[in-house]
Amino acid sequence: MNNFYNTNTQENEIKVHVTELILTPLTCSTIINEVIKYLLYQKSQIPYPYNWLKSVVKKKRTAEHADEKSVNFQAERHYTTVSTAYDSLEKLMNSITSEFEMYGTNINRLLIIFGSSIHTAKEIYTIRIPSLAFGHLEENHVRINCKHQHKVMRNIVFSDAWVKAMNSSFPPTNMYVLIEKCDVKHDGQKTDLDFQLTKQYSMCSRVKNVCIHLSYDENSKHNCCKNLVIFEDLKDKENSNINDASNSNTNDTTDEVIEKMLWFQSKTFIKGFKECFINGVSATDLW
């Protein structure tokens, strides 16, 4: 049997060069979360687009405080399934954002895995993370990044590799997220994160892997944040110190970096589900 990566490397790689926006940690995590929303719906893991999923759950929760009406138990069971998936998705996306805000410099790649477990994957979507733009005030870029973010997503979802991958589907299963990062201790940082250290993860060569390769010119100059110049001066000083230390013992430093590249798995995962019809009517219309 031919090795999957060797025979299909080019057609399963999506290269996206980000130029329209400043790729800060928050922006990068936002793009990743959008990819997850697209995947869940287009791979038939949830029967509704994210915005509709959010709206029906919010509507039901608001209605729970309104006048009581007759209860359809089948519809209520479906609501439990839908609301659980929605809450899990919200928690997962918030956890990804937190990871990038705190450890964005150390993240190498993120895996989105569909399957009953991470070791029985049906499909894998890899997002390779470039060097991100640090030292920016995130609130200064929310509006402009939201404006141009759709261009990045359009480059992804209109690519040949993405379209081809979406042509195949599988029954609802679980979706897991793993992050590969360089483990660096951060004094004063949170330790109760959703992403927990796990064993080294190896992808089976027979499992389809679509790789989204983000690239970004981290050396681009942007005079947009008051503390950016100060940050760059500190960054240059830190890099100088790091280079001096690495020159004194190159081999030891290399070994240390390799040992620190670890996998972290989110405790939160998404359980896929199908639409529920009751006498030809969507259960969401009976909530």
Query: Taking the alpha carbons of 68, 72, 73, 75 in that order, is the dihedral positive or negative?
Result: negative
* Domain boundary assignment for the chain: 8-286
- The whole-number average pLDDT for the span 129-150 is 74
Q: Tens of pLDDT along 78-133?
A: 999 999 999 999 999 999 999 999 988 899 999 999 999 999 999 999 999 998 88
Q: Which two tokens stand for residue 211?
A: 């790789």
Model confidence band, residue 245 (pLDDT cutoffs 50, 70, 90): very low
The C-alpha atoms of residue 105 and residue 132 are separated, in whole angstroms, by 7
User: What pLDDT does 237 receive?
Assistant: 43
More confident residue, 230 or 136: 136
User: What pLDDT does 146 receive?
Assistant: 72
Helices 50-63 and 73-103, axial angle in degrees (round to 10): 120
Among 18, 223, 210, 254, which residue's Cα sits nearest to residue 132? 18
Q: Which two tokens stand for residue 38?
A: 């697209």
- Least confident segment among 46-50, 183-187, 202-206: 183-187
pLDDT(281) > 50:
yes
- Is 8-286 a CATH 3.30.900.20 domain? yes
* CB 124, CB 111: distance < 8 Å: yes
